[in-house]
């Protein structure tokens, strides 16, 4: 009686888990950039860009920027004049 050769199953490769979750990265961005937003409007744009990179959903990030941050920037410009 011949023993049939058994194929070894490959184990599925595990995805590398990120060190920080998206929420944790967002918190780090907020803690680092929000105090600087009071100094200059450009930090608001930097804050939104960093969140956009972290989230990865450009369309949703642009909508949030227009809805929340753009009015804030416009108010600052209008106050200066």
Q: List pLDDT tens digits, range 33-48.
A: 999 988 988 899 999 9
Is residue 7 included in any domain, yes or no? no
Range of the domain at 43: 22-80
Cα 27 to its chain centre, rounded Å, is: 10
Per-block mean pLDDT, blocks of 10 residues, the chain (81 long): 71 81 94 92 91 90 90 86 63
Kindly state whether residue 63 falls inside one of the protein's structural domains. Answer: yes
Tally of structural domains, the chain: 1
Classify residue 29: in a domain, yes or no: yes
Around Cβ 47, how many Cβ atoms within 10 Å?
19
Task: Specify whether the CB–CB gap between 41 and 16 falls below 8 A.
Answer: no
User: End-to-end CA distance of the chain, in Å?
Assistant: 94
CA distances from 55 to 29, 49, 71 (A): 12, 10, 22
């Amino acid at each position: 009686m011949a023993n049939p050769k058994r194929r070894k199953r490959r184990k599925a490769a595990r995805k590398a888990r990120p060190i920080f979750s998206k929420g944790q990265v967002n918190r780090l961005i907020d803690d680092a950039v929000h105090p600087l937003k009071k100094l200059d409007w450009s930090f608001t744009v930097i804050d939104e860009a960093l969140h956009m990179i972290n989230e990865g959903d450009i369309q949703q990030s642009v909508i949030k920027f227009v809805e929340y941050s753009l009015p804030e920037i416009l108010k600052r410009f209008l106050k200066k004049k």
